Amino acid sequence: MEKSNYYIIFLLYLFFLGFRGYVGSDFFMYYEVFQYLPVFDGKWSFQLLSDVTIEKGFLLYMTLVKSIFNDYSFFVFINTFVNIICILVFLRRYSSNVALSLIVFLEIGGLIFETDVLRNMKSVLLFILSIKYIEQRRLLPFLTFNLIGLSMHSSAIIYLPMYWLINRPIGLKTFWVLFILGNIIYLGKIHILSIAVTPFLGLLGGRFELLSNNYLDTGIVSDYGFTMGFFLRIAVAVMISYYYERIKALHSYNIIFINCIFIYLLLFCYFSEIRILAIRMTNLFFFSYAVIIPQFVYLFRVRSNQIIYIGIVCLISILKVNGKINTPIYEYDSVLFEHKDAYERKINIDDFYIGLE
């Protein structure tokens, strides 16, 4: 029964996301890059990719798929196929409930990653597949996976020191001191990034200075205050702290994912000054929710409490996903049926953003 459910999940994910049309805010950038890229032939060279500013590893990946079949919808399907294989390998390795874990995975960040930040998704997936090498203390394969991830997206640089950091308990006292301080910064709207981070990125120069210009100087601030997300982050922090020892006792690898959740919560507080940066940084660790949140089911011994908990998780997930996709940008289209072309969807997106100004 569990094996059949596994295949059902695989097929549903692949059908709805693999055959999606031009969905999301970033699709047009990838669409244009795909159209521009040359296929592999006797005249191909790296010089042909020099005019495209995105990471060369991802460009090579797109070029490989394009060389098989020159159609952007085919690329989306193959990319989704690769993603769901990696996700399910990860969840089967670490999840106690693959279906519930996938729901949490999509709700907390996976859906946006699948439709928008395709490069980030690859670096995240390579990292989560490399976690077993952190457990096994095998540095070389860990670095191999994440250096490939770095060639997909520059944000993967944050994963490299995790080999030495996330397999040791952060400690509840340390976490709560940093978490309380971070929430003071968040609620107090204290802008620390422009003071602390901008000079550092400027010294690094190159792409990192460009990131500083794109994110830190945009003035696009977070939605501060007592939002639904704020209370959910507090609830997760309290629940993990209350069941800390019991969660650690369930599986030896849980300390890695608890630490990743702690990092997720702290990054949101300290990077809340810039909304897009807070989202990009925290989403590097969103996968940890998909492992830890479903495990609470087994900590509630009464069956009715387990059912109530699963119902609450599913309800919150539906509400949050609906909030994310309930815009013209994420209006679902399928290439299997009549759908809008790329340029028509691009006009809809531009009109949507103009309407927000």
Coil, strand or helix: which one is 71? coil
Q: DSSP for 285-340, please give it.
A: GTHHHHHHGGGGGGG--SHHHHHHHHHHHHHHHHHHHHHHH-SGGG---BTTSS--
Q: Nearest to residue 271, comparing CAs of 191, 175, 188?
A: 191
Q: DSSP for 11-66, please give it.
A: HHHHHHHHTB-S-SSSHHHHHHHHHHSPPSSTT--GGGGTT--S-HHHHHHHHHHH
Q: Nearest to residue 247, comparing CAs of 210, 187, 298?
A: 298
Specify the pLDDT at position 97: 86
Global pTM reads: 0.88
> Tens digit of pLDDT for each residue in 241-270?
999 999 999 999 999 999 999 999 998 888
Q: DSSP for 207-236, please give it.
A: HHHHHIIIIITS------SS-HHHHHHHHH
Q: Nearest to residue 331, comparing CAs of 27, 12, 13, 8?
A: 27
- Rounded to the nearest 5°, which phi and psi values hold at 299? -90, -15
Domain boundaries, the chain: 166-299
| pLDDT tens, N- to C-terminus, the chain (357 residues) | 456 677 888 888 899 999 998 888 888 889 999 998 888 877 777 777 777 788 889 999 999 999 999 999 999 999 999 999 999 999 999 998 888 899 889 888 888 888 888 999 999 999 999 999 999 999 999 999 999 999 999 889 999 999 999 998 888 999 999 999 999 988 887 777 666 665 555 544 445 555 555 555 444 444 566 777 888 899 999 999 999 999 999 999 999 999 999 999 998 888 877 766 777 788 899 999 999 999 998 888 788 888 998 898 888 888 877 777 777 788 888 888 877 888 888 887 777 666 655
Tell me which residue has tokens 């940008």: 329
> Tens digit of pLDDT for each residue in 199-239?
555 544 445 555 555 555 444 444 566 777 888 899 999 99
